[in-house]
Amino acid sequence: MLLDAGESVKALSAYLGHADPGFTLRIYTHLLPASEDRTRRAIDKAFGEEPAAGDGRQTGNGLETA
């Protein structure tokens, strides 16, 4: 899906012919189940931390993330 790939909601809405980007989000949000994981990875990357092997919930310094 384009939203999951990083395309803007506004651009996708225009491409689909929707007058309101909010409508596009209401219709297609359920197709983005990985958004929580993507957010967690982006935060880890911003702080220079790599997830440890295992459940992916520990950072490279051994501290557990929420």
pTM: 0.48
pLDDT in tens, 16-43: 999 999 999 888 877 776 667 778 888 8
**Band of the pLDDT at 52, cuts 50, 70, 90?**
low
Sequence ranges of the domains in the chain = 1-32, 34-66
Give CA–CA dist 25/16, Å, rounded. 12
* Residue 8: CB atoms within 10 Å: 11
**What is the per-residue pLDDT for 28?**
83
